[in-house]
Structure 1
Amino acid sequence: MKIILLTLLTGLLPLSVLQAQSTTQASSDGFKITGHITGLKDTTCVLAHYFGATQYIPKDTARVDGAGNMVFEGKKSLPQGLFLVVVPRKGYIQLLITEDQQFSFDTDTASIINAMKISGSKENELFYAYQQKLGKFSEEAQAITMQKKMRNDAASSALFNKQLNDLQKQANAYRAQFLTDNPTTFAAKLFKASSEPEVPPAPKAANGRPDSIWIFNYYKDHFWDDFDFSDERFVRTPFLQSKIERYIKELTVQVPDSLIKEADLVVNKAIAGKNNDIKYYTIYYITSQYEQPKVMGTEGLFVHMFEKYYKTGVMTVSDSSTLKAIGERVAAIKPNLVGKTMLSPVVSDTLRRPINLSAIKADYTVIFFYSPTCGHCRESAPGLKKLIDDYKGKGVEVLAIAIDQSPEEWKKFIKEFKLGNAINGYDFAHKNDFRNQFDVFTTPTVNVLDKNKKILAHKLPAEQIEDFILFQKRQQGDKKTDAAPKNAKASMKK
């Protein structure tokens, strides 16, 4: 299993979460978990708990003898949650750690779940009995499916479909009965948290088909129904992170306004649960995902999370220096968010004449921050030249700004890559802090502005500039896309 290192933003988590100490301690101090795994010998296993869906924190190790026996033991009780016994080259075994911390397990590497036997832990007995029963249903369904592939006549297909439907009903009935019989167990909570909302039959849309929008809205509105925000043990499972990830990144439109609304909804649920560890992890995880988001223009959620929860003290932190550093990062990002009017850099052209950003008349202005000696900048320069030449006089201007090196290096770069048709700028007086004023942490950094100098794109990959501008034109109903000679020539050849 891969270990993922915690990020810098981990410093924004309270120590109680990082140390993963459960407030619900075992009935007696200490733990002793005795294990036997057939097919394993003469190695070392690690006992660890989840921290989110992709990280785990080791709590103990045990030497496996020649007969496959091991013992995890400690004088201090373990934090409660979903644990892993990491087995070298064999994967891992999941165990529920709750109040019963003196128990044993016996399994086989050939079939870890089906062979699992538990003694001394009711939670783990339920956890594996459920999986074993559903596993049998799955095996039966696979067997029927194989027969269905071999006999595809109408009568056989109808019979097999009925058998599959009956099997599904049995599985659903078993699941419902299990949850009814064990409503307060951690095992039941985990299974409920991992399940999908059951969507009732949808009303018909105007076309006579089930209303897909209604289905989506119902699913989203009931997404959190079976998740217990009051149970801190979920911090030490993969389910809290996974559900936040799905809700925020897959069920929410990736624009700042929508993201902020839904993030606040999830955080409010965590606050209502009245468990600080759940609240802290929820705030931390959402914040961490949008400092360097995969979807351009969504950094606004990162700014919002910091200002609403960290800066106000709703989220207490373990490292004040990290809080200060992230605050400085937010201050750099905020003026450069998509939708903001870009500040005018204090730069001059090759004749040392001041360049006024607001005086550039163009439907789209591309700001290309670069370093004359940057390898990626040099790789991007030929494409940038083509863009400049192709779109000159056609509503697009490029302001190329060298953020460092000498004026001589800057002019050499312009000449080498023939960027004379661009508006070339340099900070002769060293008045700009490009890093903190314009969020230029790497080069090249590309902004695209509209005619009013509002930021349409920030940190756009250089190779995507033309596609982005053409997309913006289409969005605005501007069909004058004949400014792309390559496409025009291709059309003429046809």
Structure 2
Amino acid sequence: MKALIFWTCMLLMLHTEGGAINPAYRIEVTIAGFSGPKLYLGYYLGDKQYVLDTAEAIAANTFVFSGAQPLKTGVYFVALPPKNDFFQILISPQEQSFSIQTNQEKLQEAVKIEGSTENALIYAHLRYLRKQQGKAAAIAEIIKQSETKKTSRTQAELKQQQLNTNVAQAQKKWVQKNKGTYAATIIGANLHPVPPLESFAKLDSLEKSHQLWMWTRQHYFDYLPLGDSTLLRTPFLFEKIDYFIRTLTPQHPDSICRAIDTVLYQMSQAPETFQFYLIHFLNSFAASNFVGMDAVYVHLVEKYYNTGKAPWVSVDQLAKLSTNAKKLKPLLIGKIAPDISLERKGQRTQLHQIQSPYTVLFFWRYDCSHCTESLPALKKFYEKYAAQGITLVAICVKPTQEQPNCAKYLQENQMPEWFNATDPSGKYFGLYNLETTPQVYILDQQKEILSKQIPADQLELVMDKIIEMNKKSRSKVE
């Protein structure tokens, strides 16, 4: 019963958030059987955990966390060094002083809390879920047994389905009954929308899979209110958003941009959550190693930072972001590559004047180890594709006076007579944002950027895929 196990794991990660009302917090913890000198109190934010407070023992097995400033609403954890076994608690604005008793041998199962209705609610519900998990494990064992008769297996699978249904219904009833509590917010945020399978019953398997995927994406946040600021400091919010962006969303820049916009729009009523995730998305796609994802970075800068929706950013930082996005935008996949002058053997031409089904731009330096390591693979690539009319333009990123050294290096290393060129004006350096080398671009006949940032040893693979996709596209048109 995987669904039930998932719920149990998720629901153990409780959470809360909001403005603190009490002037301070005091949490007394007694752990039978634990003889350590201290405990840690921590919280969740994004995909990380942070230690907030340390409590020294005030008596045998007893510790007190306290502070002058109230705790922010969220899911917190109490960790026992040195192994850092832990249990979780909810902190809400109204309940910041309470006591906890548990046992080191059964750390989570034995938790008893006085003075906190929220934690009493959540732990009572978790005890119910553990009982159901025990039933699920017994049923799963029957199904797993290879010698189980077909009839017994079928009956067990039906029981499994019924148990899952009963648990899901109980969860919803519990949330409705305790509506308005932070515990209900946490449980409710982890409910799964159930697709209307009967609507897809007559579809073939491929279309059914597609429709289920579309339905899941559309209803993914039905129970997860992203505009609720109390969800920021929970251990499940980041995982759910990350799954939506990186798994449920096609990994194409345009699709990812739309998905992020959907998430941020729903977060607009929770400023702290909005700020955290906008910064997270920007940093993630600024550092992405996947080709074309710089388009997401440019989108975020233009749509949010340049329009005043990131007021926390300093003037200097905003200027850097805007400048960087401006440099990247003309080089995004799908854009027409900037035209540059090319000088070769005393003759000049323009990049856009080169007649070729595909043009590969290779920016390099003879004193760049990564560049020179790429040349053998580039030579192999050229020898394979030159007969197909593909042009390889190699531009040595050096000033005019050093260009002879570029030619000398190629000659000494017996590189082919591909299109070795220079741009005496040096404009290519700024137009192609050449802060690092090597840089590789694949352009089509119209000089549209098809791919870039490709390691030389993967160039053949990428080129073959591009040619194959182009053939399929032409055959569809015909």
After TM superposition, the structure 1 stretch with the greater mean CA deviation from structure 2, 84-93 or 214-223, is: 84-93
Corresponding residue for 2:99?
104
Residues 1:417 and 1:126: Cα distance change in structure 2 (over 3 Å): farther
The Cα of 1:408 is off from its aligned counterpart by 4.5
Matched, 1:260 2:257: yes
The match for 2:52 is 59
2:391 counterpart letter in structure 1: E
CA contact (8 A) 1:83 1:97 kept: yes
Report the AA paired with residue 420 of structure 1: P
Match of 1:489 in 2: none
Say whether residues 1:71 and 2:64 are aligned partners. Answer: yes
- CA distance 1:383–1:142, change in 2 (3 Å): same
> How do 1:27-46 and structure 2 match up within 5 A?
28-38=22-32, 40-46=34-40
Deviation at 1:415, TM superposition (A): 2.3
Letter in 2 for 1:415: Q
CA contact (8 A) 1:50 1:237 kept: yes
TM-score w.r.t. length of structure 2: 0.86
In structure 2, distance between residues paired with 1:104 and 1:415: 78
Task: Verify: 1:402 aligned to 2:399, yes or no.
Answer: no
Q: Check 1:160–1:429 CA distance in 2 against 1; reply closer, same or farther (3 A cut).
A: closer
Q: Quick check: 182-191 or 154-163, which moved more?
A: 154-163
Tell me which of 233, 238, 243 is aligned to 1:236.
Answer: 233
Tell me how far 1:210 sits from its aligned partner: 7.7
Q: Residues 58 and 64 of structure 2 are in contact (CA less than 8 Å); yes or no, is this contact kept in structure 1?
A: no
Q: 1:95 to 1:409 in 2, by over 3 A?
A: farther
Distance 1:77 1:107, change over 3 A: same
* 1:276–1:197 CA distance, 2 compared to 1 (3 A): same
For structure 1, the residue ranges without an aligned partner over 5 or more in a row are 1-20, 481-494
- TM-superposed CA distance for 1:260, in Å, is 2.8
Q: Is the Cα contact below 8 Å between 2:172 and 2:188 reproduced in 1?
A: no
Q: Distance in 2 between matches of 1:206 and 1:173?
A: 28
Unaligned runs of 5+ residues in structure 2 are: 1-15
Would the aligned equivalents of 2:18 and 2:230 in 1 still touch at CA under 8 Å? no
SS of 1:477's partner is: helix
Partner of 2:9: none
Cα gap change, 1:410/1:92 in structure 2, threshold over 3 Å: closer, same or farther? farther
Match of 2:209 in 1: 212
Q: C-alpha distance in 2, partners of 1:119/1:194?
A: 25
Report the CA distance between 1:352 and its aligned residue: 5.1
Does the aligned pair in 1 maintain the 2:142–2:153 contact within 8 Å? no
Residue 300 in structure 1 maps to residue 295 in structure 2: yes
Q: What does residue 490 of structure 1 align with?
A: none
Q: How does 1:138-217 map to 2 (within 5 A)?
A: 138-150=133-145, 152-201=148-197, 202-205=199-202, 207=204, 211-217=208-214
Alignment counterpart, residue 471 of structure 1, candidates 456, 465, 472: 465
Equivalent-residue separation in structure 2 for 1:370 and 1:37 (angstroms): 63
For the structure 1 residues 443 and 143, does the alpha-carbon distance in structure 2 shift closer, same or farther, using more than 3 Å as the test?
A: same
Task: For residue 31 of structure 1, report the CA deviation from its aligned partner.
Answer: 0.5
* 1:128 alignment partner in structure 2: 123
Secondary structure at the residue paired with 1:132?
A: helix
Deviates more, 1:302-311 or 1:319-328: 319-328
- Which residue in 2 is equivalent to 1:492? none
The whole-number CA distance in structure 1 between the counterparts of 2:85 and 2:456 is 42
Write the letter of the residue equivalent to 2:339: S
> For 2:214 and 2:412, how far apart are their aligned partners in 1?
56
For residue 267 of structure 2, the aligned residue among 262, 270, 273 is 270
Q: 1:445 is aligned with what amino acid?
A: Q
1:42–1:66: 8 Å Cα contact kept in structure 2? no
Task: Tell me how far apart the structure 1 counterparts of residues 468 and 442 of structure 2 sit (CA, whole Å).
Answer: 16
Q: How far off is 1:445 after superposition?
A: 1.8
CA contact (8 A) 1:90 1:109 kept: no
The alpha-carbon distance between structure 1 residues 408 and 83, as it changes in their structure 2 partners (threshold 3 A), is farther
Structure 1 position 398, deviation (Å): 1.3
CA-based RMSD of the aligned residues comes to: 2.8
How far apart, in 1, do the equivalents of 2:168 and 2:108 lie? Answer: 20
TM-score normalised according to structure 1 size: 0.83
SS at match of 1:114: coil
- Specify which of 123, 132, 138 is matched with residue 137 of structure 1: 132
- Aligned mate of 2:78, from 80, 85, 89: 85
Structure 1: how far apart are the matches of 2:286 and 2:335?
Answer: 17
What is the deviation of 1:419? 2.4
The equivalent residue for 2:434 is 440
Does the C-alpha gap of structure 1 residues 147 and 211 become closer, same or farther in structure 2, counting only changes over 3 Å? closer
Partner of 2:12: none
Q: 2:76·2:88 contact (CA, 8 Å) conserved in 1?
A: yes
Distance 2:27 2:136 in 1: 35
What is the distance in 1 between the residues matched to 2:91 and 2:291?
41
Change (3 A) 1:45 1:462: farther
Amino acid in the other structure paired with 2:301? F
Q: Give the direction of change, closer, same or farther, for the CA distance of 1:65–1:374 in structure 2 (3 Å limit).
A: farther
In the alignment, the residues of structure 2 paired with residue 454 and residue 194 of structure 1 have an alpha-carbon distance, to the nearest angstrom, of 45
How many pairs does the alignment contain? Answer: 453
* Mapped partners of 1:110, 1:294: distance in 2: 45
Asked if the contact 1:84/1:93 (under 8 Å) is kept, the reply is yes
Contact 2:44 2:76 (8 Å CA) reproduced: yes
Distance 1:390 1:34, change over 3 A: same
Change (3 A) 1:320 1:96: farther
8 Å contact from structure 1 (residues 287, 305) kept in 2: yes
CA–CA separation in structure 2 for the residues paired with 1:442 and 1:45: 48
Deviation at 1:326?
A: 1.5
In the TM superposition, residue 332 of structure 1 has moved relative to its aligned partner by 1.6
Q: State the 1:85 CA deviation.
A: 2.7
